[in-house]
Amino acid sequence: MPASPQTSVRFIVPRKLFAIEDDTLKIPITPDDGSTLGKQIDFVDLFMTLDNTLFEPIDTDAAIPGIQPFTLGSNGQLRSASVQQIAHVIDGALSFELIYTDQTGLTFFGGVQTLVFANFKAKALTGGATKTFISIDSQDPRRSKMLIPPFGTDIQASIPPPIEVTILPRGNISGGYCCRGDRYLQTR
């Protein structure tokens, strides 16, 4: 049986998403270490930016002070004690930050299993559908990266293009219908 082909070092996210106003959106973030054998990853720094006027972070752990917008994937190697995260506004944009530190090293970053989900709510719209973008940041000091031993060597993960998100207004039904042929009822 042939060996699996080598992939590229990257973060994988959906290219396009749709959200309904006032509903929750979960974005899976899946790392790929570029190795068919699985490199030991000790640190993951992840920074995301989105429009503060269109989204609000969801606190996924009320027991911890501050807003915790990320939830961990299902791999058994992941430990919540290894996570530091925050959501705040920087220059009018909503910023999500996650630092995952594990000195024993994670080895499942083959581009298949999700590391974390970013969780937020699309705010109510004032008009029709709105298109926006959510970015994984790639510029220092907010550069998303994966680090391997020794000494936290950056493996230069490529950052995907911004995720296109279309926010749709909630639907409603209006009109009328006839009931028993003698009355016209109006609905909203």
- What's the CA gap between 166 and 145, in Å, rounded? 27
Q: Would you tell me how many other CB atoms lie within 10 Å of the CB of residue 85?
A: 22
Q: What is the pLDDT of residue 123?
A: 95
Please give the class, per CATH, of domain 9-187: mainly beta
- What value does the mean pLDDT take over residues 30-34? 92
| Structure token pair of residue 97 | 């930050």
For 115-154, what is each residue's pLDDT tens digit? 999 999 999 998 899 999 999 999 888 899 999 988 889 9
- What value does the mean pLDDT take over residues 101-114? 87
- What's the CA gap between 35 and 6, in Å, rounded? 6
* pLDDT band for position 36 (cuts 50, 70, 90): confident
Q: What is the pLDDT of residue 6?
A: 54
Q: Would you tell me how many other CB atoms lie within 10 Å of the CB of residue 164?
A: 14
Where is pLDDT greater, at 40 or 183? 40
For 45-64, what is each residue's pLDDT tens digit? 999 999 999 999 999 988 88
| Structure token pair of residue 117 | 């989900």
- What's the CA gap between 154 and 18, in Å, rounded? 33
For 71-107, what is each residue's pLDDT tens digit? 999 999 899 999 999 888 888 888 989 999 988 888 8
* 110 pLDDT above the threshold of 60: yes
Q: Are strands 153-154 and 145-148 parallel, antiparallel or unpaired?
A: antiparallel
- What's the CA gap between 131 and 111, in Å, rounded? 27
* pLDDT band for position 1 (cuts 50, 70, 90): very low
